[in-house]
Structure 1
């Protein structure tokens, strides 16, 4: 009897300990729903969701194999985070009806080492976009001035003749939008937080229909600049950890405030909307959820497999997005190739641009 009681006690203690990942996963669920300015630490749970959910999956298997009821807690945590899972993982064999009239939209953060390296890749990247038959291209951290910028404009405008640029100040990397279709109006979005990151919108005339395209570059994480190095001693490493924590908390709040601004502009648009950009945040973040709102996430609509766009940090994170108005547009193909030009991958999405609302179209077919 004593052994049985001891084993039950061990199971109980282990069961309580195994609830910790479930609790962390619940916190990760709320990370996208609560503003970081008020709940700053939750963003860390959002960032750690891939690992936390993986642990919960292992615990479900463990407790089911043991035929113990403790599996209910990690299962609940997993089911609660299905919206997050669908934003990073899609079945590879789903079938999607091809587009009737195609519009190819691409977004890419091309920064890698400065203007010198950008000069080298301009021809290669423009050739790639031509081969992909891209109609609208949103670039973050576009060359700011001089011959490098002129070369990029010359290369890209061969196939995308309409373009608009914006920056926070002279000499600072810009956001840029290139289009096969005429740009009717465009405007910079200047964030009031002193950030060097910027956004813009442009109204495009796509065969008589106005579509508002946002090109968004939210506050960076600055993680690479403050990462712990093998040469750091214990004191230096501890100092860097504190710096990273404070910096990530501050930047998370800034991104959330920037997302609020973008959301307001989206809500004010009377035209169908496409949102492109580098959010520097995952689908478990407040920034992602706020900007997406009722828009469609192209990866969730037509992506396949595991979706990531940041090539470092074990390829765990999707931080580059294309959203669109689901009542007038429909995603039919999501493509994110492993190019070597940047630490980001480009995102290329094919949209069906029959601007009749899809519900009406289905009724007409019937």
Structure 2
């Protein structure tokens, strides 16, 4: 076989760099962000690293070169990560009366500050919720205003955080709420709230989370050199805060005698330490019944899935949908249908 050309030697060198970065990123879910907060940023870039290594793999196969083995072996080693990145479509499922449908949505305060140039965002979100008919509705960045009304839900639990008690998290449902509470985060405008719901003869704890924001502005200017250093610093600080916040959520779960569902805005990817900790003893609804990249955040460069619904492993996920056509916030809503017991 002929030796590599000068150009292909350069390609393989770049391939080696991205393969090494991907291998390092595989380790991040097992390393607390407080240890290497800067490296934790790689977890957000995992989709790009996977796609690049797949591209290099195809390139070398087309060239009939043994260099394909580098990316092939790295991708094989992290095959489960590929399953977290992309899912092929599944058959449509018709919800049964005994099933539970949960909808989670970071509504960005219902466009209070006119991030979207439209006067009808609140009405459109209310209409969307009405069309979806969820049994449980979880909002992050819920804004309590006169024009925000979801009166079809008999039981509503809201915890509003800022000084004017204007916005926070909310859980709305028609199931009886037998217990409720908030999980406060120190030095943060975010929190988690929970309700214990009586569903048929079962009690289920629903935890609605909003972890520390990474404060990413999804615009090209944010990544110009003069802003990049500040952005990395902010994100590193946020990753460390998220680690502490997740520990408080896990403490709540450890003291909970019921099955649980965790949903909301993780502000982190499915390749991160905080996701791995939250997903313990739970099933990721996207990985079970999702489709495509499951993108949940409006971001041009990377298909970020930073919102999730994690269902107790004793339950069964029947359907999952992300709704990228719903552009009323910087997040897309996600919904899941599950049954309280597995058919397996």
Report the TM-score, using the length of structure 2 for normalisation. 0.89
For 1:52 and 1:186, how far apart are their aligned partners in 2?
A: 41
Residue in structure 2 matched with residue 81 of structure 1 by the alignment: 78
Matching of residues 328-339 of structure 1 within 5 Å: 329-337=315-323, 338-339=325-326
Matching of residues 230-249 of structure 1 within 5 Å: 237-249=224-236
1:48 aligns with 2:45: yes
SS in 2 for 1:101: coil
Contact 1:96/1:302 (<8 A) preserved: no
How far apart are 1:58 and its partner, in Å? 1.7
How far apart are 1:168 and its partner, in Å? 3.0
- Describe the superposition over 1:131-186 as per-residue Cα deviations: whole angstroms up to 9, x where unpaired: 21211000011114xxx1x442xx212x2110111133432521011011111111
For 2:60 and 2:112, how far apart are their aligned partners in 1?
A: 54
For 1:315 and 1:161, how far apart are their aligned partners in 2?
A: 39
For 2:96 and 2:84, how far apart are their aligned partners in 1?
A: 22
Residue in structure 2 matched with residue 344 of structure 1 by the alignment: 331
How far apart are 1:48 and its partner, in Å? 1.4
For 2:48 and 2:202, how far apart are their aligned partners in 1?
A: 44
1:165 aligns with 2:158: yes
Residue in structure 1 matched with residue 130 of structure 2 by the alignment: 130
Residue in structure 1 matched with residue 88 of structure 2 by the alignment: 91
For 2:130 and 2:6, how far apart are their aligned partners in 1?
A: 66
Residue in structure 2 matched with residue 313 of structure 1 by the alignment: 300
Q: Which has the higher helix share?
A: 1
How far apart are 1:104 and its partner, in Å? 0.8
How far apart are 1:95 and its partner, in Å? 7.2
For 1:15 and 1:156, how far apart are their aligned partners in 2?
A: 56
Residue in structure 1 matched with residue 203 of structure 2 by the alignment: 210
How far apart are 1:333 and its partner, in Å? 1.2
Residue 30 of structure 1 is aligned with which of 23, 27, 33? Answer: 27
Greater Rg by CA: 1
- Describe the superposition over 1:310-338 as per-residue Cα deviations: whole angstroms up to 9, x where unpaired: 123346101111111121x2111112222
Change (3 A) 1:96 1:326: farther
Residue 190 of structure 2 is aligned with which of 176, 186, 197? Answer: 197
Contact 1:30/1:42 (<8 A) preserved: no
Change (3 A) 1:104 1:223: same
Change (3 A) 1:27 1:96: farther
Contact 2:282/2:311 (<8 A) preserved: yes
- Describe the superposition over 1:180-209 as per-residue Cα deviations: whole angstroms up to 9, x where unpaired: 1111111111012x0111111110111231
For 1:188 and 1:112, how far apart are their aligned partners in 2?
A: 19
Q: How many residues align?
A: 339
**What is the root-mean-square deviation in Å for CA atoms of aligned residues?**
2.7
Q: Which moved more, 1:270-279 or 1:257-266?
A: 257-266
